[in-house]
Structure 1
Amino acid sequence: MKIGELARRSGLSPSRIRFYESSGLIRGVERRENGYRVYGPQALWTLEIITSAQGAGFSLDEIRSLLPDAQSQWQHAELLASLERKLAEIDALQQRLTQNRAQLLVAIESVRHRPEELPCTDRAQWVLGQLREGPAAEDDPPR
Structure 2
Amino acid sequence: MNISELSNLSGVNAPTIRYYEQIKLLPKAERLSNGYRKYSEEDLKKLFLIKQAQQVGFSLDEIKALIPVNVTKWNHDLLIKTLTEKITEITAMQKMLAENKQNLIALTESIQDKPMDMSCEENANRLMNIYYDESEN
Question: Could you tell me the TM-score, scaled by structure 1's length?
Answer: 0.79
Query: In 1, distance between residues paired with 2:64 and 2:112?
Result: 49
Contact 1:3–1:14 under 8 Å retained in 2: yes
5+ residue gaps, structure 1, are 135-143
> Would the aligned equivalents of 2:66 and 2:78 in 1 still touch at CA under 8 Å?
yes
Q: Deviations over 1:86-122 (max 9, x none)?
A: 1111111111111111111111111111234556554
Partner of 2:49: 49
Rounded Cα–Cα distance in structure 2 between residues aligned with 1:71 and 1:45: 11
- SS of match in other structure, 1:102: helix
Tell me the equivalent position of 1:9.
9
**For the residues of structure 2 that align with 1:120 and 1:9, how far apart are their CA atoms?**
54
Q: Is the 8 A contact 1:21 1:27 kept in 2?
A: yes
Gaps of 5+ in 2: none
Q: Which amino acid aligns with 2:26?
A: I
| Post-superposition CA distance 1:63-103 (Å, at most 9, x none) | 11120254741111111111111111111111111111111
Structure 2 CA distance for partners of 1:129 and 1:101, relative to 1, 3 Å: farther
Equivalent positions of 1:1-143 (< 5 A) are: 1-70=1-70, 72-117=72-117, 121-131=121-131, 133=134
Q: What is the aligned length?
A: 134
Distance in 2, matches of 1:121 and 1:9, equals: 56
After TM superposition, the structure 1 stretch with the greater mean CA deviation from structure 2, 79-88 or 29-38, is 29-38
Letter in 2 for 1:32: L
How far has the Cα of 1:40 moved from its partner?
2.8
Q: Percent identity?
A: 37
Equivalent pair of 1:26/1:43 in contact (CA under 8 Å): yes
| 1:3–1:39 CA contact under 8 A, matched in 2 | yes
Structure 1 118/10 Cα, relative in aligned 2: closer, same or farther at 3 Å?
A: closer
The separation in 1 between residues aligned to 2:16 and 2:71, in whole angstroms, is 24
